[in-house]
Amino acid sequence: MQPDSRIFVAGHRGLVGSAIVRELQGTGYRAIITRSRAELDLGDPSAVESFFAMERPEFVFLAAAKVGGILANNTYPADFIRDNLAIQSNVIEASRLSGVKRLLFLGSSCIYPKLCPQPIKEEYLLTGPLEPTNRPYAIAKIAGIEMCWSYNRQYDTRYLAAMPTNLYGPNDNFDLNSSHVLPALIRKTAEAKTRGADEVVVWGTGTPRRELLYSDDLAQACCFLMNLDEARFNSLLSDEQPPLINIGTGEDVTIRELAETVARVIGFSGNLTFDPTKPDGTPRKLMDVSRLHGLGWRHTVDLEDGIERTWEAVRDRLSLESGNGHPSS
Ligand SMILES: NC(=O)c1ccc[n+]([C@@H]2O[C@H](COP(=O)([O-])OP(=O)(O)OC[C@H]3O[C@@H](n4cnc5c(N)ncnc54)[C@H](OP(=O)(O)O)[C@@H]3O)[C@@H](O)[C@H]2O)c1
């Protein structure tokens, strides 16, 4: 990508898309193209095609998706598979028609089989049954990878699929009804501190292990991949295997260690109590990132630093909300 390359970031208001825009702006790219959902519904094929024909982006980061937790996935499975298939089909096809040079399709680690060996290598794709709760979402994402691969083979396009591990950062979702584990811990701990409570109750036993990547690190990795020289980019696009690369830290921590780090950062000195009657989820989920490390990229923000940055960015907002009686448990 050159400083004046036309770069479309789809989903620029989301956790991932906003971090990619920040990274691009911070590194001097001047022709970043964005559209809100109200301006361009990526589920509408003719609108997407017209937009690409008019704007002619050269590079596309496809970070728009219908995303949600277990409850949303269970309640709206049809919406998850339909919307995601539509968004990615429309963007991939319009990219082909308008001659996009490189496209990065964002998926997630839920595409891998539920019980696959750890750490998870790219080649474990389609080697076993998926986690049932988000299968429609995961199958849509797998279809996206397959589309990238098929388009590369049939149309000689250069589309790559990146599978990030669990992400966190300032633009995360801190709603306790639908948030992931880290933002939920940050919110609960902040609220306990504000109330002067002496205890935070953490779901499960505290023993499951999770890998977490700071959103700015992910954005950096995405731009790194889009900027790979021809030889290294081509090494990821072969006829023999899907054009797939994991993005993560390659390190994981227990939920207990995570809760302790959050408490340290926020300055909560009360007790952490683990509630084993609540579900633990998968015991371990760690990406094998040797493919990414082999290309020369490593994360730079360690977990405590990332939690500090996130806390700095959201502390006023969360303190204000908890003072207004928002949910706390
Ligand atoms: N968050 C994570 O931990 C994580 C981990 C691994 C992978 N990922 C992947 O990264 C990608 C982005 O995730 P995220 O966490 O950034 O999600 P997010 O915060 O929910 O952002 C998704 C974005 O897509 C936009 N969008 C959805 N439907 C659209 C439509 N029909 N037309 C136009 N825009 C639409 C949303 O617009 P509105 O703002 O208008 O709704 C939003 O800006 C997903 O593919 C996800 O699987 C995320």
pLDDT in tens, 191-203: 999 999 999 999 9
What pLDDT sits at residue 70? 76
pLDDT at 309 over 50: yes
Q: To test the ligand 1 pocket, which listed residue (37, 81, 91) has its Cβ within 8 A of the most ligand atoms?
A: 37
Phi and psi angles of residue 158, each rounded to the nearest 5 degrees, phi first:
-125, 70
Mean local confidence (pLDDT), 67-87: 91
Q: Best mutation site among 8, 12, 13, 16 for ligand 1, i.e. most ligand atoms within 8 A of its Cβ?
A: 16
Q: What is the pLDDT of residue 324?
A: 44
Residue 209: what residue type? R
What is the sign of the dihedral through the CA atoms of 193, 198, 203 and 209?
Answer: positive
Establish whether 137 is a catalytic residue.
Answer: yes
Does the beta carbon of 148 sit less than 6 angstroms from any atom of ligand 1? no
Would you say the C-alpha torsion 231, 292, 84, 67 has a positive or negative sign? negative
DSSP letter for 270, please. S
Question: Which atom of ligand 1 lies at the shortest distance from residue 36's CA?
Answer: 40
Nearest to 215 by CA among 179, 165, 260, 150: 165
- 18 alpha carbon to ligand 1 midpoint, in Å? 10
